[in-house]
A = this chain, B = another copy of it.
Amino acid sequence: MQLRMDQAALSAFLVRDFGQLAADFAVERVGPEGLVLRLKVAERHLRPGGTVSGPSIFSLADVAMYLAILARIGPVALAVTTNCAVDFMRKPAAGRDLLGEARVLKLGRTLAVGDVMVFSEGAPEPVARASLTYSIPPA
C-alpha cells in the first residue's frame, strides 16, 4: 500500500487546516502500518489534579486517525467522524506527553474504520484505546 502524504506533508496540512489546534500535536511517524501522533501536554490539557482530560485524549485519538486516513487517501477528501468509542484504562503519567498509535483497519468507499492506542511516553501499558469510524464523502 502506497502512502499519498508523508510526515512533512501531514505536518503542513495540520498547521494549515487545524489552526491553533496544530500547536498541540506533532506527527512522530507515518508508515504503511499506521501513524504515531504526539500530544504535547500543556496546562490547558489538564483536569484539576493534574491528569490529562478526557476530551484531550479524545482529541488525540481523533486527530491521529484523521491524519492516518489522509496519509492513505491524500488531502483532497474531507472525512467526518461518525463514531468514536474510547476505553479509558489508566491514569496518564504526570508530566509526560501522550502518544497515539493509529492504524487503519478498513478504508472503504464511504467508510473508514480504525483504532488508536494511547500511551504515556515511555510507559508500556496503554492509557486508553479508541475505535473510530469516519464517513468519506463521494469524490
Contact = CB atoms under 8 A, between A and B. Distances in A.
Interface in A56-109: 56, 58-59, 62, 80-90, 105-106
Interface of A: 17-19, 21, 47-48, 53-56, 58-59, 62, 80-90, 105-106, 110-111, 113, 115, 125-126, 129, 131, 133, 135
Nearest to A16: B48
A113 B85 CA distance: 13
B83 A84 contact: no
A121 B85 CA distance: 25
A10 to B, nearest CB: 16
18 contacts: A18-B48, A54-B62, A55-B58, A80-B88, A81-B88, A82-B87, A82-B133, A83-B87, A84-B85, A84-B86, A85-B85, A87-B133, A89-B113, A105-B126, A106-B125, A115-B129, A131-B131, A133-B133
